Amino acid sequence: MSTLPEDGLVAVVKRDCPTCVMTAPVLGELARRAGIIVYSQDDPSFPDTVALRESDLGLDMSHRLKIEIVPTLIRLEGGREVARTYGWDRAEWERLSGLSDLGRDLPASQPGCGARNIEPGTFERLKVRFNETGLKSRRIEIGGDEDEQEAMFARGWSDGLPLVPPIEERVLRMLDGTGRDPQEVIGLVPPALAAATVEKIAVNAVMAGCKPEYLPVVLAAVEAVLDESFAMHGVLATTMFVGPVVIVNGAVRRRIGMNAKGNALGQGNRANSSIGRALQLVIRNIGEGRPQEVDRATLGNPGKLGYCFAEDEEGSSWEPLSVERGMKPGASAVTVFAGFGLQGVVDQKSRDPESLVRSFAESLKAVHNVKIAPACDALIVVCPEHERTFRDAGWSKARLYEELYRLCEIPGDELVAGARGIAEGGPASLAGKTVNKFRPGGLLIVRAGGDAGMFSGIIGGWSASGGHGSVPVTREVKL
Amino acid sequence: MTVLLDPTSERSPTIRPRLPRPDSLDGLTVGILDIAKSRGDVFLDRLDERLQERGIAVRRYRKPTNVRPAPLPLQQQIATEVNLVIEGLSD
């Protein structure tokens, strides 16, 4: 890198900038009358009006001088910058250079162009090069002949699928997605109870394939699962199927392009897929929660790669899940639910809510086992065509909850172990009583899915649902 | 060279340790891999004898050539059939 003069004028330009081209004769004039060094960001032969040109193709000097706009004119005295102006402004250039009558045939002023050193990607590369990232994570060097993907698999970082390599530039860009301090600790991730800093979460979000604008949602989801009442350690360690299911509400859904419509619970949307995956990678890598280690799941479920979707709030007659759970309407929020898989509720014939709610209730009774009650919590994902049936009949969400609980009352005789020829079941003392399939508050309803199709879904929960196990947690998405 | 940021809690070393050696060979099946260099079998046959004298199960394998890595099917076969592998270099 060349050195700056102790005293005198320095300019940074690029040929690609019309204002720089326009001021080339003025720079020549400054070279003759006062002396100047000009750094060119793109073409070392530009401007040919100045003899003392320095190539800054590597942009080191531009970065060091924190150039944002070209042309930038700087005055140095005693090795220190004493004045700076950018773009073309005759009065400013004259004041700064102490010369008069500069660029007489030019307009009085003309804005400059963006400098190359602050272009996305370049800026991060320069910060890494000058060791200005402030990132604290340990650096892992991968050999030149080593395949990055294989190296990451070999270190156990992957959920089984390829990862985006978390190089410093990508992590820096990811952190641009939040205003939070990279070293802020969001919580302790079980089972290792290791600190999840914003930076560590960003590293995992990079690997998961997130864009920077998804990071606030990932942070909120991590915060939510680390709330004591969610019981993340148990959700991880259980032999049952569950993992965190993330439901996103509010403005952030559309801002980051989440899918709440057709195939909302399926593949194909980057935000849905990568946010859920990032949360799981945080548990795996920061918390050291890995299958067949502390994760003792017998079968697990495909959603443990990532299970995240947005509620379809637009056009719904119901308040969004987040509002039901105390957030302000429109506020962005995530709700986490310890859930698994998807059980379909196919009903293409009910045209009134009384019939449809019975379909839902009878399907709900099968969660875990028809013989088990009270069972786990359940999240019901109501498709738009089913919601329409309730709406047209004027059923509020509260009414639907009320009817579902009422219809999920089960005669204890049916639940006793051995009844209906099934050994599974409850104690003989249930006979003659009535038992509800769900604890009060154990049902959650959201609306999602494509406009066509009378196919809703039930996401079953964990046997340890509720106060003695996991309860759903809602957290605001903070930018 | 690529530099990655460690996504983990950083409680394990950056250089992965080798798998620990077993404390004892009792009850384990030992694979002996002849890499197909000449006279390697002299040494490996003797090891085989000594292991069998101690009642340790031994399985023998041979690479088609010493100038290339073992073919993948052979690697997979060894991995599924034995608990540890001994290979020897001769010259």
Domain residue spans of chain B: 29-88
Measured between CB atoms, which of A143, A151, A207 is closest to B7? A207
Q: How confident is the model at residue A71 (pLDDT cuts 50, 70, 90)?
A: very high
Tokens of A449: 């899915």
Among A449, A424, A402, A104, CA closest to A266: A449
B66 near B36, Cβ under 8 Å?
yes
Question: Computed from CA positions of residues A136, A138, A139, A142, in that sequence, does the dihedral angle turn out positive or negative?
Answer: negative
- Average pLDDT over every residue of A65-93: 96
Tokens of A51: 């003899």
pLDDT tens, A335-350? 999 999 999 999 999 9
How high is the pLDDT of residue A2? 65
Tokens of A8: 């005198």
pLDDT tens, A227-246? 999 999 999 999 999 999 99
Q: Where do the DSSP E strands lie in A306-358?
A: 308-310, 333-346
Given a cut of 90, whether residue B37 has pLDDT beyond it is no
B4 contacts chain A (CB < 8 A): yes
Backbone angles phi, psi at A318, to 5 degrees: -105, 155
Interface of A with B (CB under 8 A): 135, 137-144, 148, 151-152, 154-155, 157, 165-168, 171, 189, 192, 194-195, 200, 203-204, 207, 281, 285-288
Flag whether the ipTM exceeds 0.90. no
Tokens of A303: 């959603």
The number of CA neighbours under 13 Å toward the Cβ of A210 is 38
Binary contact (B4, A192; C-beta < 8 A): no
Shortest CA distance from A191: residue in chain B: B9
Tokens of A388: 């329409």
Binary contact (B5, A281; C-beta < 8 A): no
Beta bridge pairs of residue A12: A39, A72
How high is the pLDDT of residue B69? 84
A71 near A9, Cβ under 8 Å?
no
Given a cut of 80, whether residue A222 has pLDDT beyond it is yes
- Average pLDDT over every residue of A268-285: 98
pLDDT tens, A298-312? 999 999 999 999 999
For residue A286, give how far its alpha carbon lies from the nearest alpha carbon of chain B (Å).
Answer: 5
Given a cut of 80, whether residue A365 has pLDDT beyond it is yes
Given a cut of 70, whether residue A280 has pLDDT beyond it is yes
> Chain-wide mean pLDDT for chain A?
96
Residues of A in contact with B16 (CB under 8 A): 154-155
pLDDT tens, A20-58? 999 999 999 999 999 999 999 999 999 999 999 999 999
Query: What pTM was estimated for this model as a whole?
Result: 0.87
Among A186, A211, A216, CA closest to A332: A216
Q: How confident is the model at residue B63 (pLDDT cuts 50, 70, 90)?
A: very high
Tokens of A457: 């879904």
Residues of A in contact with B9 (CB under 8 A): 189, 192, 194-195, 200, 285-288
pLDDT tens, A374-403? 999 999 999 999 999 999 999 999 999 999
Residues 11-50 of B with CB under 8 A from A: 11, 14, 16
How high is the pLDDT of residue B39? 86
Among B53, B59, B7, B4, CA closest to B30: B59
Binary contact (A155, B16; C-beta < 8 A): yes
pLDDT tens, A410-443? 999 999 999 999 999 999 999 999 999 999 999 9
Beta bridge pairs of residue B59: B31
B7 contacts chain A (CB < 8 A): yes
Residues contacting residue A207 through CB under 8 Å, at least 6 positions apart: A152, A157, A158, A163, A164, A165, A166, A278, A281, B7
B7 near A207, Cβ under 8 Å?
yes
Question: Computed from CA positions of residues A361, A363, A367, A371, in that sequence, does the dihedral angle turn out positive or negative?
Answer: positive
Among B40, B46, B71, B76, CA closest to B58: B46
Chain centroid, CA A30 distance in Å: 50
A155 near A198, Cβ under 8 Å?
no
Q: How confident is the model at residue A469 (pLDDT cuts 50, 70, 90)?
A: very high
How high is the pLDDT of residue B20? 87
Q: Name the helix (H) or strand (E) containing A447.
A: strand A443-447
Residues of A in contact with B2 (CB under 8 A): 141-142, 148, 165, 167
- Give CA–CA dist B88/A271, Å, rounded: 52
**Residue burial A329-359, b: 16+ Cβ < 10 Å; e: rest:** eebbbbbbbbbbbbeebebeebeebeebbeb
How high is the pLDDT of residue A315? 86
How high is the pLDDT of residue B19? 83
pLDDT tens, B13-29? 877 778 888 999 999 99
For residue A20, give how far its alpha carbon lies from the nearest alpha carbon of chain B (Å).
Answer: 37
How high is the pLDDT of residue A477? 98
The architecture of the domain spanning A8-118 is: 3-Layer(aba) Sandwich (3.40)
**A308 torsion bin: left (phi>0), alpha (psi -120 to 50), beta (else):** beta
Binary contact (A140, B11; C-beta < 8 A): no
Residue ranges of domains in chain A: 8-118, 150-476
Among A264, A364, A274, A245, CA closest to A313: A264
- Give CA–CA dist A174/A126, Å, rounded: 16
On the 0-12 / 13-18 / 19+ scale of CB atoms within 10 A, A42 is: middle
Given a cut of 90, whether residue B89 has pLDDT beyond it is no
Beta bridge pairs of residue A243: A339
Backbone angles phi, psi at A245, to 5 degrees: -105, 130
For residue A276, give how far its alpha carbon lies from the nearest alpha carbon of chain B (Å).
Answer: 16
Length of chain A, in residues: 479
